[in-house]
Amino acid sequence: MKIDMHVHAKERSSCSIASEKEHIEKAIEFGLDAIVFTDHNKLVPIEHLEELNKKYHPFKIFGGIEVRMEDNGEDILVLGIHDKLIEEKKWTYPELYAFVREKDGYIAKAHPYRYKEYIEIDIEKYVPDALEIHSTNIGKDDSQLITDLAKKLNCNLISNSDAHNSEDIGIYYNELESTPSNEKELIELLKSGKYKCGYSTERIFLFNKNVAKKEELIKTLINQGNDKMYYHNLTGNWEGEFDRVLMGKSYII
């Protein structure tokens, strides 16, 4: 079973340009068997998940959430929690970690080292179930840092698209050893490490060609003394792309 566990839909994530329908239909077209919607600080109602699963059966749609830490801005992926408190509370990592463990959920660090050479949470004391090693928001510059940290923590790695555009969905995915019939079984498979990380070589190549063009423009704008808002207003693209280049890193994956 191929599953992308980090997907944002515009119904709940304002930064996404793709709807649930667009994501699901593209995921099916690209050969995935399941996705997890992990919108920013927003859950998918259980009733709505049930409707989507009936409509697109046998394709599976699970619900998760990407929670931003109140004190340092780090992003954490959580699966298996449907308590509204998770989207309403202002979380610190130790509090969120305890909450997820109490609820038997799944917790993973999204895009480590994206803007820094360090992680601003106590990840060694509160070890997550996994670190995200690949996505469209993890440049290859950070791969070794993430791999080394996973070895140090003795935790698993996951790979996802972090898709905000349906064309990116499933560019990275996780291939499970079996097909979970429900969320609990999915979490059990993930925690036991019964999967491998997968990717589409052809789609990565095309993605990187586009990134190279954008980053060439960003470097030109930086040399001209322009800032990230100028870049955003000029192109409509996310200003985080500018920040990444400014710190000497790339989104080449």
Tell me the pLDDT of the chain (253 aa) as tens digits: 999 999 999 999 999 999 999 999 999 999 999 999 999 999 999 999 999 999 999 999 999 999 999 999 999 999 999 999 999 999 999 999 999 999 999 999 999 998 888 999 999 999 999 999 999 999 998 999 999 999 999 999 999 999 999 999 999 999 999 999 999 999 999 999 999 999 999 999 999 999 999 999 999 999 999 999 999 999 988 898 999 999 898 999 9
> Using alpha carbons only, what angle is made at residue 157 by residues 156 and 163, rounded to the nearest 5 degrees?
145
Q: Enter the pTM of the model.
A: 0.94
DSSP per-residue string spanning 202-217? HHHHHHHHHHHHHHHH
Largest Cα–Cα separation, the chain: 55
**CATH number, domain 2-199, options 3.30.70.260, 3.20.20.140, 3.40.50.300, 3.40.50.10470:** 3.20.20.140
What are 139-147's contacts with CB under 8 Å, separation 24+?
139/244, 139/249, 139/250, 139/251, 139/252, 139/253, 140/250, 140/252, 140/253, 141/249, 141/250, 141/252, 142/112, 142/113, 142/114, 142/249, 145/112, 145/113, 145/117, 146/112, 146/113
For residues 172 and 203, what is the distance between their CA atoms, to the nearest angstrom? 9
> Using alpha carbons only, what angle is made at residue 243 by residues 238 and 247, rounded to the nearest 5 degrees?
155
| In the chain, domain spans | 2-199, 207-246
